Chains A and B, each alone.
Chain A
Amino acid sequence: MSALEQLLGGFATALTLQNLGWSLLGVSLGTFIGILPGIGPALTIALLLPITGYLDPTAAFIMFGGLYYGAMYGSSTTSILLNTPGESGSIITAIEGNLMARSGRGAPALATAAIGSFVAGTIGTLLLTFCAPLVVKLAIAFGPAEYFALMILAFTTASAMLGSHIYKGLTALAIGIAMGLIGIDELTGQARLAFGYPQLLDGVDLVVVAVGLFAVGEAMHVASRRDLREVTVETVKGSLWMSREDWRRSWKPWLRGTALGFPFGALPAGGTEIPTFLSYFFEKKLSKRPREFGTGAIEGVAGPEAANNSAVAGVLVPLLSLGLPTSATAAILLVAFQQYGLQPGPQLFEASGPLVWTLIASLFIGNAMLLVLNLPLVGVWVKLLSIPQPLLYGGILVFSTLGVYSVNRSAFDLGLLFITGFIGYLMRRFEFPVAPCIIGLILGPLAEQNLRRALSISQGDWSVFVTHPIALILFILAATMLVLPVLWRPKVN
């Protein structure tokens, strides 16, 4: 069966009344939580993981589809009106979009971000539909050596591309790998880093780490900074519809942003941050009014926002076809799959094809729902931003406590939340990126497994990583990723 036929099958499942309801719930919850300041898609999904565990897989994945794009949409709204990006891909939107909002052009900024997200999300999901099966065909040739090399590439890109300095990214990665090693080693049955606590023998749950690093870390960071507590929400005035001039200035940046974002997401090459920065530079270079950039140019919102959403769709290619998460959100989605006993990778399309195609179909549906529902309802969502911050963060931490406790019904996990929350705070306070930590936590044990498997197949011969051409190319790419940011790093004025 071709990809298109399978996608149609996915639509048939996703378009039933009940499943449309799950999709609507997903986009609404995603927008609702994503719009809260400092909370991006990764935390939104992490917070809802314990709840979705009670649903049947199809309903849960339809909801994830909605959540994934809904949280992105909510995050960009907050970036524009409050200048607080929920994740690194929204930094440019937060700068240029907020400048537009301050000069009274908040409505067109929100509209170009929403329509750009829709265009990029739809094209990106379409590319995902056709690329993922191709990568699956490639991945069949992958053995443990290639997988290990691929994971090293994911490690280096995540550490080198995110954050201000490579050593900070690598520190975050090492913390994540160390956390991932906690528990019983599957091959030898030995306990590692358990410090005598039997509760640690099963390892640390990702929900606990994600909620600690993102929610508790963010709340502590805001509590430590008076200037972050005194934020101004820009009001949205006038019609939400863009003028003819706005459309004329937006459509090309949307398409260019989409073209830039998808490959960056699909190849494990640094997630969403780099394409948004590149899109901003291209738009500034191509613009007839480069002086407007830095004061609120609509192209500076349209392009990067499309690049961000397109990269987010691209990230699903390595996740679904190789089982390789290259962003924090993708890492949490991987755990969502594992929660249902599914392991993303080449076999997933064979073993659980209908479920995967339903997820992809629900991405299309969720994307359309967001455009139809949320643009006219932006006034309602904006009201959420007027909730006093103390009550907002009080509520977030109550739900964090609830979510973490409900994973294993264990007070010990709340103790771990205390520790990971403190680590998350220190990472924000000293500007360490959080995503490499999550990626290290998930991929660390998988990388170890593949390294040991590759060496046991080759009977301990390390040359296996050089004689396999794909592995060698991936290692060279990984080394380049470490060196590249030292030599060249784009700067935003």
Chain B
Amino acid sequence: MTAQSRNWPELLLGLGIVLAGAIIGWQATSVKVAPIYAKVGPAAFLWFAAALLIGCGLIVAWRAAARPAGQGFELRGPMEILLALGLAAGLINLIGFIPVAILVFVLTSHALGSTQIVRDIIAGLILSIVAYLVFAMALGLRLPLGEVFA
């Protein structure tokens, strides 16, 4: 098996799953188990999930080492969507729902291959205003207008 044909993404995923299991196991050690619950206390299921993740993660990593990587995946698009959601989480209280919705719309469209930014901004603006009005007026859902504009 050469380094080129090894399935590095899946190998990393397997190790990531093992790491997640280890973190859950580490958290389980900090849960105090009173003697009365000693049979099955609040940490038992944490240990179960941790063991399952570590076991399955090892299988994922082991199998990844034995077969070539899949082709045809691009990273730019998914990362752009993550950026959109990250910005939404960080900015929604600051700049409000409508600008955040436009941002999510434009970045997602771009991630999916759109190059017409002006069209996307206009479509995002219309959609977010309609959504805001429907939710706020018809359903009484209070969406943030943004601290900056308050």
List chain A positions with a Cβ less than 8 A from chain B.
50-51, 54, 167-168, 170-171, 173-175, 177-178, 181, 185, 187-188, 190, 192-193, 195, 216, 219-227, 229, 388-391, 393-395, 397-399, 401-402, 405-406, 409, 411-412, 414-415, 417-418, 421-422, 425-426, 429-430, 444, 447-448, 451-452, 455-456, 460
Is A220's CB under 8 angstroms from B82's CB? yes
| B139 in complex: contacting residue of A51, A393, A394, A398, CB < 8 Å | A51
A324 and B34 CA atoms in complex are apart in Å by 30
| A395 in complex: contacting residue of B77, B114, B127, CB < 8 Å | B127
Number of interface residues of B (CB under 8 A): 72
Contacts of B17 on A, CB cut-off 8 Å?
171
- Give chain A nearest CB distance to B108 CB in angstroms: 4
From known contacts A224-B78, A226-B72, A401-B100, infer whether A394 and B92 are also in contact, taking CB-CB under 8 Å.
no
Contacts of B110 on A, CB cut-off 8 Å?
390
Name the residue in B37, B100, B108, B128 with the highest tally of chain A Cβ atoms < 10 Å from its Cβ: B108
From known contacts A181-B46, A223-B112, infer whether A394 and B85 are also in contact, taking CB-CB under 8 Å.
no
Q: A174-B52, A224-B77, A397-B81 are in contact. List 17 more A-B contacts (CB 8 A).
A: A171-B53, A174-B49, A174-B56, A178-B20, A178-B53, A187-B37, A187-B42, A192-B46, A224-B75, A225-B73, A391-B114, A398-B105, A401-B104, A402-B97, A402-B131, A405-B143, A455-B39
- Chain B interface main SS type: helix
- Give chain A nearest CB distance to B78 CB in angstroms: 4
Name the residue in B42, B85, B86, B113 with the highest tally of chain A Cβ atoms < 10 Å from its Cβ: B85
- Give chain A nearest CB distance to B21 CB in angstroms: 8
From known contacts A394-B112, A414-B89, infer whether A173 and B13 are also in contact, taking CB-CB under 8 Å.
no
Interface string of B18-51 (1 = CB under 8 A from A): 0011001001000110100101111111101110
From known contacts A225-B74, A393-B108, A418-B89, infer whether A170 and B45 are also in contact, taking CB-CB under 8 Å.
no
Contacts of B10 on A, CB cut-off 8 Å?
430
Which chain B residue has the least Cβ–Cβ distance from A461? B39
Which chain A residue has the least Cβ–Cβ distance from B17? A171
List chain B positions with a Cβ less than 8 A from chain A.
9-10, 13, 17, 20-21, 24, 27, 31-32, 34, 37, 39-46, 48-50, 52-53, 56-57, 59-60, 72-75, 77-78, 80-82, 84-86, 88-90, 92-93, 97, 100-101, 104-106, 108-114, 120, 123-124, 127-128, 131, 135, 139-144
Contacts of A171 on B, CB cut-off 8 Å?
17, 52-53, 56-57, 60
Is B120's CB under 8 angstroms from A390's CB? yes
Is B93's CB under 8 angstroms from A411's CB? yes
From known contacts A216-B81, A229-B112, infer whether A177 and B45 are also in contact, taking CB-CB under 8 Å.
yes
Contacts of A190 on B, CB cut-off 8 Å?
31-32, 42
From known contacts A174-B53, A398-B105, A398-B128, infer whether A225 and B82 are also in contact, taking CB-CB under 8 Å.
no
Is A394's CB under 8 angstroms from B109's CB? yes
Is A421's CB under 8 angstroms from B85's CB? yes
